[in-house]
Chains A and B, each alone.
Chain A
Amino acid sequence: MRLGTMLTRTFIAATALMAVAAIDAPARAQAPTTAPNPTADSVNEDLLFKQDPKIHGRISIPDQKAANLIQPQGREWRGFHEGWMPWIGAAAILGMIAALALFFFTRGRIKLEHSEESGKKILRFNGFERFTHWMTATCFVILALSGLNYIFGKRLLMPLIGPEAFATLAQWAKYSHVYLAWPFMLGIVFMLAVWLKDNIPNRIDWQWIKAGGGFIGKGHPHAERFNAGQKVVFWMVTGFGAAMGITGLMMLFPFYATDINGMQIMQGLHSLIGVVFIAAILAHIYIGSLGMEGAYDAMGSGEVDLAWARSHHDLWVEKEQAKTASGPQLRPHQAPAE
């Protein structure tokens, strides 16, 4: 009897407690929590990047760059040179090779006309000019190949020759890239010094462009020492050469003039200009060798046929012949006859 009474009382008490809990639970859920959140106001990555583009700590060694912990732009730079850059480089260079091949197989080699051969020669480029051209050109070829190795070497060459041979090759390619950059930059300075005066654009160039360099209409358009197409090549070489020199020097002397963000921008610019430069020089090499008969002689021996020069650079020939006719034969106080 006592046991039954006790069980009944226990059941009633338990039921009452459950009822109270059930009534109280929604009220507790709706009430604002008062428990403190210890990380609510702490510094997080987003907050740090609002204050500074980089996250850095404090260090005791003099190289303050080592204090850098996170630099998000580095991820973009890595994504560019590991993802976009090989595709851009391949499109520029293979695209130019394909365009030149198409031109060659449709138009063929531009041949000399018999009427353009007189048998007499005229000096087109003197020894120093040819020296300047070839020094810059040979350095450019090495710089281009070693530069392309930075982009494509590990993708194309390493699977063929193995990692050890590739490591040795890449080391020597790096040496040649860094050291031959100096005679290349000197060559660009020499080019500016010897050819700048003959490459100032003028109205004659516009006429040459309108005539399509001789492809549109009959006969060759007038041209001075350099026609509009050659002037474009000159300004492209000196402009890109200067840009490659400046961005290259920034990388050769890292952190002297810029921080890590600037270094990454310089590397991106150097590689982008580099592949466009290589593609453009491929066209220059084509037209100076395979593309046009007789074009190589100007930079090979330095002399071209007089009739060819009259046909392609008539105003220059007139000027040169006027010099030889009146210049050296006259004494300083004498004036040429009108």
Chain B
Amino acid sequence: MKAFAVAVICAVALGIAASYVLATSQKFAWQAFSTTSARVSQPGTNLVGPRWTGDVKGPHDEVAGDPQPGKRS
């Protein structure tokens, strides 16, 4: 039982460590593929704007920071 408990704890710890190590080798698409001629921009300055939350429920829902929800033209 002791060996089993230690094994499970070690597996979880190694999994968490792997997640941190793998995160360092990953890049966002806008970082990996941006060039002076390519239209890949950092989120916040692209077409959806800096207040984009990604959580859109419908055409008349409030966009975060929008002062007049539902009255966009």
Task: Give me the interface of A with B, judged by CB distance under 8 Å.
Answer: 60-63, 127, 130-135, 137-139, 175-176, 178-183, 186, 252, 300, 302
Contacts and interface: CB of A to CB of B under 8 A. Distances in A.
A179 B4 contact: no
Given A130-B4, A135-B10, A138-B11, A182 B18 contact: yes
B49 to A, nearest CB: 23
B6 A131 contact: yes
B43 to A, nearest CB: 17
A186 B18 CA distance: 12
A182 B20 CA distance: 12
Interface residues of B, number: 22
Nearest to B9: A135
B3 A61 contact: no
Given A62-B33, A175-B19, A180 B11 contact: yes
Interface of B: 1-4, 6-8, 10-11, 14-19, 22, 32-33, 35, 37-38, 40
Contacts of A179: 15-16, 18-19, 22
Contacts of B2: 127
Contacts of B37: 60
A83 B32 CA distance: 34
Contacts of B22: 178-179, 252
Nearest to A181: B18
Nearest to A175: B19
B35 to A, nearest CB: 6
Nearest to A186: B14
